[in-house]
Structure 1
């Protein structure tokens, strides 16, 4: 199942979104892991076709749905307590991450002493096989500010990419970031969407299933983000769109 975004007003969605394609990093881009996938940089407004492609069906799986939301956060309240009223008593607080201003992507890997950027990637908290990859927990993100930030998401899902890269044995695979890197390196295109999130805005997204990363590209201020992981029912938080 590809990217599916829940929204009520198409104009509200289009006002905060842009689309682009991706590329593989070049040898001279030492800030990134070798072979990382990053935005091409040529962002453009959504077309009618883009909106149609990202529109969720009438009865989507909650586990694969993207929602743009306003989490119920009060200044000074413990961030660990936020998920208790959101439908999953087993949800976990993943912590915070700070994005410096004007970062094309924000996630840094711990595999290298110099903290190279990971690029667009899949999460793997649930360690799911190909057959179950679409059932993973979704992540809630809250932009704590002070700056605006983006979530970048791929239109194509992890199962489709795994099938394309491993046609003979995909059923026995664990879909991984490397599958997306191999897919792009082989010359196959991936479209991505960039969604703007102001302070106190956030998302619920299947980051185990869709290529993604944060971004502060073009922004003058840093932004911190808080993250939670859980089995969130659709519509548990007020929608931004």
Structure 2
């Protein structure tokens, strides 16, 4: 299922969201070879594109993106912030500090190179089970503004396109997206602005994503959790 994003006010969504195509990073020492990155040609989200993101009847919460304001953390108690939200087994993943002016933010911890837009794989789910993964809750701790980058084409669709003969036995992965984009197939990505104190709940095991501080003059730290939360657990910001 492609990207669906919960919103109540289309104008509020469009005010903080832009869209672009993606490209393959080539011979860029900052990135893993073949990484998928935004083209940089950001355009305002049109009304038609915004309406195409609206939640459909039958859309599972497990595949829904929500822009939210998480609870304000108590000093030194980030680990337990998500537990009152309805999943007693929510897992705290830690924090990541992103320097300013970063088109994407996630690094390969082994060599420090950026991995670009990617899929998470905490739950290690095969093709048919991929929509059942946990969602990620993210909170921008500041001091700077950051962006959530999220692709519109889901992991199952890309896996079918790249592995047409045996996709049902595959584990959809970041490499599938890299092959898809390298073959010249189009993928669009949205950039959603998150001020300090704002965040998202999103199926990062199912949709291409990353963080960004492009065009921002200040670093931004983010905290992350994994869990199973009902749609509307936190009020929407849009």
Assess same fold via TM > 0.5: yes
Per-residue deviation, 1:194: 0.3
Q: Distance in 2 between matches of 1:100 and 1:74?
A: 22
1:211 aligns with 2:230: no
Residue aligning to 2:108: 109
Select between 118-127 and 76-85 the one with higher mean Cα deviation.
Answer: 76-85
Runs of 5+ in structure 2 lacking a partner?
none
Q: Distance in 1 between matches of 2:163 and 2:58?
A: 30
1:25 aligns with 2:25: yes
1:164 aligns with 2:161: yes
Q: Distance in 1 between matches of 2:23 and 2:73?
A: 39
After superposition, what is the alpha-carbon deviation per residue over 1:99-158, rounded to whole angstroms, capped at 9, x for unaligned?
10010000001242xx10000000000000000101100000000000000000000000
Per-residue deviation, 1:74: 3.6
Residue aligning to 1:80: 79
Which SS does the other structure have where 1:88 is aligned? coil
Residue aligning to 1:187: 184
* Cα RMSD after superposing both structures: 0.9
1:91 aligns with 2:101: no
TM-score by length of 1: 0.97
Residue aligning to 2:70: 71
Residue aligning to 1:47: 46
Per-residue deviation, 1:54: 1.4
Q: Distance in 2 between matches of 1:165 and 1:150?
A: 29
Residue aligning to 2:7: 7
Q: Distance in 1 between matches of 2:56 and 2:67?
A: 16
Per-residue deviation, 1:57: 0.8
Q: Distance in 1 between matches of 2:45 and 2:212?
A: 18
Aligned pairs, number: 238
Per-residue deviation, 1:50: 1.1
Q: Distance in 1 between matches of 2:57 and 2:75?
A: 38
Q: Distance in 1 between matches of 2:162 and 2:11?
A: 36
Per-residue deviation, 1:12: 0.5
Which SS does the other structure have where 1:162 is aligned? helix
Residue aligning to 1:223: 220
Per-residue deviation, 1:82: 0.8
Q: Distance in 1 between matches of 2:214 and 2:53?
A: 23
Runs of 5+ in structure 1 lacking a partner?
none
Does the 8 Å contact 2:20/2:38 carry over to 1? yes
